[in-house]
Amino acid sequence: MSPATGAPLALDEMFAPAIAVALRDLGHDVIAVAERPELRAMTDDAVFAWAAGQGRWLVTENVKDFRPILLQALQAGSPIQGLVFTTSRAFPRSRKNPGPLIQALHAWLLAGPPQPPLTEDWLLSLGPAGPGPG
């Protein structure tokens, strides 16, 4: 295993634990909500706060719920790390072929997260991540 690279990540509940395992095998510090019963029981607000408290960027498809949580945290001056948004259209969730998402997250981690003050990023293809819609 290579040394850990990039920012620590938390994968939201829609992502299979196998994705976190594969990224850890590549040397990254990644936890999947789905592999931790105490995290699966949390609300989105609590998962966001937990990830921020751990210094982890949170990867999610749930823009509708997490973007407002991020904006509220920014307005309140709460500690935050960041969100990486993706879609099931860009990376269909398949237990048979999680490879494209693993490759894209690996590339994002190697490139490093956006520099502050940016607190969100979009992962929409295997190419370099960059500012997304919004």
pLDDT score of 98: 87
How does the average pLDDT of the chain come out, rounded?
A: 88
Angle subtended by helix axes 44-53 and 63-76, to nearest 10: 50
Comparison of pLDDT for 119 and 132, the residue scoring more = 119
Residue 101 pLDDT class (50, 70, 90 cuts): very high
Residue 130 pLDDT class (50, 70, 90 cuts): very low
pLDDT at 118 over 80: yes
What are the residues whose beta carbons fall under 8 Å from the beta carbon of 101, sequence distance 6 or more?
15, 19, 86, 91
- The HSE-up count of residue 83 (CA atoms within 13 Å, CB side) is 24
Asked if 101 contacts 125 with a C-beta cutoff of 8 angstroms, the reply is no
Regarding pTM above 0.75, the answer is yes
Cα–Cα distance for residue pair 33/19, rounded to 1 Å: 11
pLDDT at 127 over 60: no
Mean pLDDT value across residues 10-38:
96
* Residue 19, CA distances (Å) to 70, 80, 83, 109, 132 in order: 24, 23, 17, 14, 23
Residue 129 pLDDT class (50, 70, 90 cuts): very low
pLDDT score of 13: 95
pLDDT score of 56: 96
